């Protein structure tokens, strides 16, 4: 990173244990703010310039509410924790009012067709996203020890918002998961013979708290990369998890092969999981816990998806035909 100022922000956030993606997002919006104010040092600006910046995102760029909120959080972090000049709690700017879209949901027939079209190397991970309602990054970051075969569940650690939860595991995936663990074991044996291998990445202070955990089999990723790579933060040789873009491409290719005329992404499988649970009679609170939503209003969007077909309402056209 060329800018010493942005490098300082990155180092500060890393010290405070912010997630890598959060750091990248915050730096992106802080940089955008600095460019917007004509590359004047942010210390010479405050509420007025921030209000203009946020209004510009809404008025000129038609930014979605969540993106505008992320920009606000980023700039707020800059002034509160870096410059120690907190912004006013009553900022006046034009808030984005883009109407949120209903999530794309597949029918059970479409899900079956999609999974049939997914290449075998990525099938298990896609089955977990649909069968357990996992987000893409939650799935690729699974460790061997996160699978509980006895109780048919998966432990999700540090999901969105840093939350932990336990989700259901389809018993039908048991054999495939055990085969996957066998493949991880083969990589593990090979890596442990490599003198330069530093073990798997451990989040936060776990590496210091459990010095031997990095080279313990159960801590290794369930879906590992097929090659070793250097950890850029500490310059150590590790085996990271599979790159999430591989799964994104696999889903996109499979949706085309199965002729599904919808905008299908990895998250579509999570949306379909929630909707199909509700259709099968699951309580909305149960679905909320499975998805890890803090607010039940977020989960209720899936009831709107079910009602989109106006169940129980007969069209007046039907009486004429």
CA distances (Å), origin 5, targets 9, 10, 36, 74? 6, 9, 16, 15
Which position among 165, 236, 252, 267 bears the catalytic label? 267
Which position among 31, 46, 160, 252 bears the catalytic label? 160
190, 226 contact by CB (below 8 A): no
CA distance 160 to 172: 27
Which position among 238, 270, 271, 276 bears the catalytic label? 270
Which position among 10, 135, 141, 241 bears the catalytic label? 135
Is 10 among the residues known to form the active site?
no
Q: Specify the pairing of strand 229-231 against strand 147-148.
A: unpaired
Is 227 among the residues known to form the active site?
no
Six-digit token pair at 32?
């955008």
Tracing tokens 């650690």 back to the chain, one arrives at: 157
Task: Indicate the angle between helix axes 266-279 and 244-257, nearest 10 degrees.
Answer: 70
Q: What are phi and psi of 241, to 5 degrees?
A: -80, 170
Is 293 among the residues known to form the active site?
yes
Q: How many CA atoms lie within 13 A of 55 on its CB side?
A: 10
CA distance 128 to 145: 15
Q: Which residues are bridge partners to 229 per DSSP?
A: 238
Contacts of 44 (CB under 8 A, 6+ apart): none
Catalytic site positions: 135, 160, 267, 270, 293, 302
């Amino acid at each position: 990173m060329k800018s010493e100022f942005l490098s300082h922000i990155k180092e500060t956030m890393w010290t405070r244990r912010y997630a890598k993606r959060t750091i990248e997002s915050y730096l992106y919006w802080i940089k955008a703010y600095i460019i917007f104010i004509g590359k004047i040092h942010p210390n010479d600006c405050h509420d007025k310039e921030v209000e203009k910046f946020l209004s510009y995102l809404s008025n000129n760029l038609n930014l979605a509410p969540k993106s505008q909120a992320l920009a606000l959080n980023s700039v707020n972090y800059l002034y509160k924790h870096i410059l120690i000049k907190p912004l006013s709690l009553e900022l006046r700017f034009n808030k984005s009012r883009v109407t949120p879209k209903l999530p794309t949901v597949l029918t059970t027939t479409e899900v079956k067709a999609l999974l049939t079209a997914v290449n075998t190397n990525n099938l298990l991970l896609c089955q977990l996203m649909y069968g357990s309602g996992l987000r893409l990054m939650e799935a690729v970051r699974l460790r061997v020890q996160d699978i509980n075969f006895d109780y048919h569940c998966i432990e999700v650690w540090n999901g969105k918002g840093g939350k932990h939860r336990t989700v259901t595991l389809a018993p039908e995936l048991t054999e495939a998961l055990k085969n996957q663990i066998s493949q991880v074991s083969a990589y593990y044996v090979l890596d442990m013979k490599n003198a330069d291998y530093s073990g798997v990445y451990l989040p936060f202070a776990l590496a210091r708290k459990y010095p031997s955990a990095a080279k313990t089999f159960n801590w290794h990723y369930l879906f590992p990369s097929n090659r070793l790579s250097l950890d850029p933060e500490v310059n150590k040789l590790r085996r990271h998890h599979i790159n999430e873009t591989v799964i994104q491409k696999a889903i996109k290719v499979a949706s085309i092969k199965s002729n599904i005329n919808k905008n299908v992404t990895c998250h579509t499988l999570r949306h379909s999981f929630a909707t199909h649970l509700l259709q099968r009679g699951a309580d909305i609170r149960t679905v909320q816990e499975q998805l890890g939503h803090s607010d039940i209003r977020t989960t209720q969007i899936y009831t709107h998806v079910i009602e989109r077909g106006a169940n129980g309402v007969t069209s007046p056209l039907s009486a004429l035909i």
